[in-house]
Amino acid sequence: AQIEGKEAGVEVHQEAGSTRLSDLINKDPMFEICFTHPRLLAAVSRVLQMDFKVHSLNFRAALPGQGLQALHADWTPSTEVHREQLKAGYYYVCNSIWLIDGFTRENGATRVVPGFHCSGKMPADEMEDPTRPHPDEVRLTAPAGTVVVFNGHTWHGGTLNASTRSRRGMHSAFIRRD
Q: What is the pLDDT of residue 118?
A: 83
Q: Is residue 94 scored above 70 in pLDDT? A: yes
Per-residue pLDDT, averaged over 136-150, amounts to 97
Helices then strands, each counted (H, E), the chain = 4, 8
The predicted-structure confidence for 17-67, as pLDDT tens digits, reads as follows 898 898 999 999 999 999 999 999 999 999 999 999 999 999 999 999 999
Q: Is residue 153 scored above 60 in pLDDT? A: yes
Q: What is the pLDDT of residue 9?
A: 53
Q: What is the pLDDT of residue 138?
A: 97
Q: What is the pLDDT of residue 117?
A: 87
Of 173 and 121, the structure prediction assigns the larger pLDDT to: 173
DSSP annotation string for 81-133: HHHHHHHTT---EEEEEEESS-B-TTTT-EEEETTGGGT---HHHH-S-TTSP
Of 87 and 25, the structure prediction assigns the larger pLDDT to: 25
Look over the chain and give the mean of its residue pLDDT values, rounded to a whole number: 91
Q: Is residue 12 scored above 70 in pLDDT? A: no
